[in-house]
Amino acid sequence: MGKRQRKSEKEWQLANFPEEQTLTFLSHRYLALAASLVLVLSAFASLLQITNSPSNMAVLGEIDPVELMRTLMDQESTARRPETDSGASTSLDPTDGRKRHSQRAFHRAVLPKNAVVFNPDHYDFTLIVFKLVEGQELGPGGKILDRGVLQAIGDREIRPYFAGLETQLAQLRERQWRAVGPGERPDVDLSLWFVAQARNKDDGEALFARLQALSSIEHTYPQPLPTQPPGDIYPPTDDFTARQGYRAPAPTGIDAAAIQNFAGARGRGVNLLDIEWNWRLDHEDVGALRNGSLIGSLWTSSNREHGVAVIGVLAADPDQYGVTGLTPEVNVSVSTDYRPYTGTSVAPAIVEGLPYLRAGDVILLEAQIMCPEVQRLTPVECLLVDFQTIRIATQLGVIVVEAAGNGNADLDDPRLNRMFDRSFRDSGAIIVGASVNSTGARWIPSGYGSIIDANGWGDSVATTGYGDLFLPIHCWPFNPLPPYTGCSPDLRQAYTATFGGTSSASAMVAAVVVAMRGAALAQLSPADAALVNGTLIRSLLRSHGTPMNPGQGIGLRPDLRQLFIALNLQRGLRVLGEPA
């Protein structure tokens, strides 16, 4: 957009901030203090050999982290008041998330444009993706004005990376302006991403090199080819909940039963957006996943079973048939990351889905990318456009759970140029690795490293889909499935006992996040529930859970009992009309 339009947008942002139900944020300083105190308290509890007895739970429950964080904020705001760009001091109003959310809590650092080798088996050199440096002005209709870029592209076809999502992109930009304080501006503008169509592979390589050399280009790469989601599957319905070992108490599972009677813990009031290739939208045991759950269009018929397996872990119906989801009351939406012109990228799906989400809702990224720096599958934020879009979502208060990928990648590898070093750059996402079911060992293909926040089961996961556990066959004349003759497997009743990878692990951790958010909404005031945000949850996942064997690099396996005690979210359900 032109300078005049950008200025009026900023003036509107400063003048109009409407009241909206957004989460407030803790600054980096408060969160570090709160997280440190939580760690100290956890160590103290261990020294006292605190057990899971009701009396000891009550002792831990007396420590209210919400009240603790408010006290820390009051002390900090009294001792030191931040200054605006003009030099005037401003108080930290607990109700004003714009002031309390410091840009310093997120690290935007752009990786150097070094000589990375892109494997043509995984990247399409006929489509060159690039981003202009922040601050570049665009002409009418979002056209590029920079002469160097236009000269490099010549007569090749060019289009915006987010073509077709102009309305959603404008709405997202408006939300970005609302999320920053006076004198600040959003640090990422997604309208600066474009795709150029090369004539052939050799032409694409030449175009890539020319764009890479321009100072007006922040980043460029050939378009990744579609990457399969990170699953690991081997080739009247019974009740299979006994096979869901991941529901068991710690250290075996995440202790789902411990919280089922806590108000809100089943996910009510929380929206979850699952982003991956495809889903089966008619499974008998996943009423949360129907045609109305789909945002946008589907572009592939592949991987439907993967999608329904993921949602089965989260939200399968809580009845006596099949399996039971960890958070069956969560509201599920889905958006595909497989698109004709962007291959596999979560960025367009996030942009398309964000209008349906508010602060405190959850995005689950069931995807991975072949990262060229190490030629291994890694979290999708290896791709800069995905990193920047994830970052925008988390800055708006949406909690993002991201699979570590099934590439056996060391995410601290020096060849990654600190890509997964949060002291250098931080998308704000929760990164999830995978363990060998209930053991303390890393599931070997799982990504690992210091950025991993938590892990879940990476194999032997019972859920909906596929059919290796249960798959009825209907035969004529009792076949209800087209073409109605012969015999047909009924995939609407398919169940598996072998789902796995960082896909199943990420679904489990996403359910833990949903449970914590749902309980916070049900048990706390809106202001206090807002403090149970993605940054706090990410910190708690790193300190409350079942330790793995030394050197695994996949964090802790979440323990819902520990997490709910830490947040003092243990209020039980009560019958309507019963005195509070």
**Predicted confidence (pLDDT) per residue in 64-82, tens digit:** 555 545 543 444 343 333 3
Highest mean pLDDT among 23-32, 71-80, 366-375: 366-375
Residue 430 phi, psi (nearest 5): -95, 120
| Strand-pair partners of 138 | 144
Tokens for 452, please give them: 């991993």
Whether the per-residue pLDDT at 467 is higher than 90: the answer is yes
342 Cβ contact list (under 8 Å, min separation 6)? 129, 161, 195, 223, 348
Q: Of residues 207 and 84, which shows the higher confidence score?
A: 207
For residue 334, what are the CA distances in angstroms to 32, 101, 232, 331, 398? 34, 28, 21, 10, 15
**pLDDT band per the 50, 70, 90 thresholds, residue 108:** low
Give me the pLDDT at residue 111, please: 75
Q: Of residues 343 and 339, which shows the higher confidence score?
A: 339
For residue 47, what are the CA distances in angstroms to 40, 264, 537, 544, 562? 11, 32, 24, 15, 16
Q: Are 380 and 346 in contact (CB under 8 A)?
A: yes
For residue 389, what are the CA distances in angstroms to 267, 308, 398, 505? 25, 25, 12, 23
Whether the per-residue pLDDT at 407 is higher than 70: the answer is yes
